[in-house]
Amino acid sequence: MPASDSPSTEALGKLIDSIAQERRSPLFRPHVTLASLPDSVTIEQVAAALLLEPPVPLAFDDICTGKTFYQSVFISMRPSFEILALRQRVHEKLGIEAKTPHFPHMSLYYGDTDREAIVDKLKEEGWVQNIDGGGVIVGATSAVEAMEVWMMDCSGKPEDWNMIMRVKLDVVGLMDIDERALNG
């Protein structure tokens, strides 16, 4: 998760809310999805896999459309060394293959319709701008920094999802597990 109080996160949240209201689609907080994990992975395994991981810079690569409800319109992240290495280390520590497409990404819209129309409108209205040399600016920002990792139970509708665990990453790579999330 990028810092929730940053101007970038606030602007991206307004964009997500605007699309959701216009399309009558689910509301959700700006977040970067690093991986989709099987139910067999435990909280303890995820916490151990994140031990000593520092915050990760995430540069926006492109605005994309997907074929699933939860990857309808999203921002793909530039495949930097840091993010690819983090993804690989976490998957290795969890003992699972990193094979899910479009990870990491930041969703902007959950839905089944009008994906290309949404992207076209975002570009026409200036929400999305291409950067010379690669990448995009979305909502006046071209990158975020992952400051926390949340493990979510994504059963049911997005408004029913529950945080199972939150791990705060810091500049020296130490972690602080939010015990409230662990206990309920």
Domains of the chain are 7-146 (3.90.1140.10)
Q: What pLDDT band is residue 45 in, cutting at 50, 70 and 90?
A: confident
Cα–Cα distance for residue pair 109/121, rounded to 1 Å: 13
H/E stretch holding 44? helix 43-50
What is the Cα–Cα distance from 141 to 9, expressed in whole angstroms?
9
Of 116, 115, 142, residue with least CA distance to 130:
142
Is the C-alpha dihedral spanning 5, 6, 11, 13 positive or negative?
A: negative
pLDDT tens per residue across span 48-105: 888 777 888 889 999 999 998 988 999 999 988 888 888 888 888 888 887 766 778 8
